[in-house]
Amino acid sequence: MTTGETARDMANAIRFLSADAVENAASGHPGLPLGAADIATVLMTRFMTFDPTQPDWPNRDRFVFSAGHGSMLLYSLLYLLGYKDIGLDEIRTFRRLGSKAAGHPEYGHAAGIETTTGPLGQGIANAVGMAIAERHLSARFGEDIVDHRTYVLAGDGCLMEGISQEAISLAGHLKLSKLVVLWDDNGITIDGKVSLADSTDQIARFEACGWSTFTCDGHDQEEIAAALEAANASDRPSLVACRTTIGFGASTKAGTAKAHGSPLGTDEIKAMRETLGWPHEPFEIPATIVDQWRIAGLRSSAARRTWDQKLSSLDAVQRGEFDRVHRGDLPSGLKQGIERAKREANETRPDIATRKSSELSLAIINELVPETIGGSADLTGSNNTLTGSLERLDADNYGGRYLHYGIREHAMAGIMNGMALHGGVIPYGGTFLVFSDYARGAIRLSALMGIRTIYVLTHDSIGLGEDGPTHQPVEHLAALRAIPNLAVMRPADYVETLECWDIALQSRTMPSVLALSRQNVPALRTDQHDENRSARGAYELASANGEAAVTLFATGSEVQIAIEAKAVLDRDAIATRVVSVPCFELFERQSEEYRAAFLDDRSLKVAIEAGVRQGWDALIGRRGLFVGMDGFGASGRAGELYAHFGITTDTVVSRVRAALAATPRAEAPQPDGS
């Protein structure tokens, strides 16, 4: 424990590293690192348990830097504490292309960055997810093995975002007592004083959500420590409101929005050196200060070694499981279980909604994969996300594996991200596909971070019927496919649904969306294929009699329309093949040769999907036929809606006939051939 003068100098080391790095980069946010340096110093040197030499130690305390714009605070800490990935070179190249010290903290760039932050409020939700994972794993493996805290540093912006309310209300409900949010209460946002836009009593708000609250002077390290002590003693999650001055130490800009997001300027920093008594050159930290930081960084080494021994003393099965789930490996029995189910499905050929297929898949998966944690944003019975073996995860039973997230789609996504980042668990959660809009801020981060978060999005088209256009996704498949590194999967039947679930679980560096029907669909994959054909992204479900004159592409509940249209066209001696396209993203990753077999110029191309056309031109070409939606849906019965919007076998057949009549194949190929 370091206090007094030394501790102040340690905080000032953060301040000058940050201010000088921002100055050097000519871009960045000095205000928060200057203001929160004391908080961070106390937290890191007196409270947090971690080991910079083993940054992935499963039982480390987590530090979630929700106010990601102040990234230099985090980089300064990582350097000073002795994390290897961030050295002075990285800090000198802060915000430059290729630097690990990116503008905002990017998960995967450097050890010690627990999550990607910058979009405000997300860190709070991530932290709630980590705290849930911690309690759950502790219930599973014992308090000796899993027993750590999760600390968040959040700013005013994080608290104003709606996702924070969703996350803190669930955290309070779950009594996540090892979660502490440190609020950098500086009263300033980009536009000026917080009082321009907000008069919320945050203390009262958190208390209304079941949190303990504490306040302190964020520049008095002893007060901060006392508040943290009290927070850690609480049986509820805790808010520690730290009154700070943004840009603390900056002579003219401290306490104003000017300190927030721009370099302070050389004169300002020069004066700050005098004010804070810091005569050292930029990027020069006195060895004594670095030493103090490094000593602090090694505070928990003994605890970590003790923990290693505890882990070793676990029985072999438990030890094996602990290691396996933390490596992210799947249990060996899963592959067989899914293949068995596929073979059974070839016999039973169930005529069920793909959301039901997903439930059947999950019934298998949840038995075989004990690290799944399921849930839904209050649509459990609609999303079919709960299977028999899952108990409810709540404050009385952290060992449960099913979370009622409440009507909180955005927090659910952010919390699942936090669980996936924590490790040891695989989160999946459901809502309606249309409400992916509410969660999109967090879904994008799943993809950017490349983590295994699984979204179960049911009611995936006008096929949901009477609830009408507010509930009917039409643009959502396109909008989700537009996100890089996101596997958007829309299975056609139970076999494809099993395959898509298999893909989602295998996919360690890409999150998944399963878009699932409300309405029943027939079994279409009645072949015997142990191979996961959906993993190709697109594959020939039904081949043509001879060379195909027509290729029908379809996804999900519309694949049956393609199959029916093929039957009609075949009777007309129009050789037709059907390509099921469960996942664009995976298809794009196939070899040029594999893709070319579907994209050749020889057949008339038709796509059938109860969504907008956008994205399909890449497969069918600009002049390919598209049978789908070109506007919002309507309230009515599913079958009537499909007829009303012309997404029918008849439409497909008549449009194909018309197109072939206009351009007889014998005379000329498709005009655009693509």
The one-letter amino acid at 348? T
CB of 641 to its own copies, least distance (A): 7
CB of 323 closer than 8 Å to CB of 43:
no
CB of 427 closer than 8 Å to CB of 416:
yes
Asked if 43 touches its own copies (CB under 8 A), the answer is no
The one-letter amino acid at 488? V
Tell which one of 310, 349, 613, 665 touches its own copies (CB under 8 A): 613
Binding window for its own copies (CB under 8 A); candidates: 289-297, 452-460, 475-483, 568-576: 475-483
Ramachandran quadrant class, 89 (left: phi over 0; alpha: psi -120 to 50; beta: rest): alpha
Binding window for its own copies (CB under 8 A); candidates: 78-86, 169-177, 324-332, 534-542: 169-177
Distance CA 103, CA 22 (A): 10
Distances (CA, A) of 215 to 17, 127, 239, 447: 27, 20, 8, 36
Asked if 478 touches its own copies (CB under 8 A), the answer is yes
CB atoms within 10 A of CB 142: 14
Distance CA 674, CA 603 (A): 9
Distance CA 88, CA 90 (A): 5
Could you tell me which of 338, 381, 427 has the C-alpha nearest to residue 126? 427
CB of 478 to its own copies, least distance (A): 4
Asked if 374 touches its own copies (CB under 8 A), the answer is no
Asked if 95 touches its own copies (CB under 8 A), the answer is yes
Asked if 391 touches its own copies (CB under 8 A), the answer is no
CB of 419 to its own copies, least distance (A): 17
Burial class of 655 by CB neighbour count within 10 A (0 to 12, 13 to 18, 19+): middle
The one-letter amino acid at 628? G
DSSP β-bridge partners for residue 179: 150
Q: Are strands 426-432 and 454-458 parallel, antiparallel or unpaired?
A: parallel
CB of 299 to its own copies, least distance (A): 31
For the four alpha carbons of 652, 653, 656 and 662, in that order, the dihedral sign comes to negative
Asked if 411 touches its own copies (CB under 8 A), the answer is yes
Binders in 57-86 for its own copies, by CB under 8 A: 68-69
Question: Looking at beta carbons only, is 138 or 165 nearer to its own copies?
Answer: 165
CB of 510 to its own copies, least distance (A): 12
The catalytically annotated residue of 90, 166, 223, 409 is 409
Question: Looking at beta carbons only, is 25 or 242 nearer to its own copies?
Answer: 25
Tell which one of 209, 241, 523, 581 touches its own copies (CB under 8 A): 209
Could you tell me which of 69, 82, 70, 12 has the C-alpha nearest to residue 41? 12
Asked if 136 touches its own copies (CB under 8 A), the answer is no
CB of 233 to its own copies, least distance (A): 21
Tell which one of 85, 220, 467, 540 touches its own copies (CB under 8 A): 467
Tell which one of 4, 5, 143, 199 touches its own copies (CB under 8 A): 199
Question: Looking at beta carbons only, is 55 or 469 nearer to its own copies?
Answer: 469
CB of 468 to its own copies, least distance (A): 4
Distances (CA, A) of 546 to 115, 537, 550, 574, 603: 53, 24, 11, 10, 12
Asked if 484 touches its own copies (CB under 8 A), the answer is yes
Q: Are strands 150-154 and 62-65 parallel, antiparallel or unpaired?
A: parallel
Dihedrals φ, ψ of 649, to 5°? Answer: -60, -40
Asked if 589 touches its own copies (CB under 8 A), the answer is no
Asked if 142 touches its own copies (CB under 8 A), the answer is no
x/- site string to its own copies, residues 433 to 452, per CB under 8 A? -xx-xx-xx--xx-xx----
Asked if 537 touches its own copies (CB under 8 A), the answer is no
Dihedrals φ, ψ of 286, to 5°? Answer: -55, 140
Question: Looking at beta carbons only, is 219 or 459 nearer to its own copies?
Answer: 459
Binders in 627-666 for its own copies, by CB under 8 A: 630-632, 634-637, 640-641, 644
Question: Looking at beta carbons only, is 214 or 438 nearer to its own copies?
Answer: 438
Asked if 139 touches its own copies (CB under 8 A), the answer is no
CB atoms within 10 A of CB 671: 11
Distance CA 567, CA 383 (A): 32
Binders in 233-252 for its own copies, by CB under 8 A: none
Tell which one of 163, 365, 393, 415 touches its own copies (CB under 8 A): 163
Q: Is 23 a catalytic residue?
A: no
User: How many chain residues touch its own copies (CB under 8 A)?
Assistant: 118
CB of 670 to its own copies, least distance (A): 9
The one-letter amino acid at 59? N
**Coil/strand/helix, residue 578:** strand
What residues act catalytically?
409
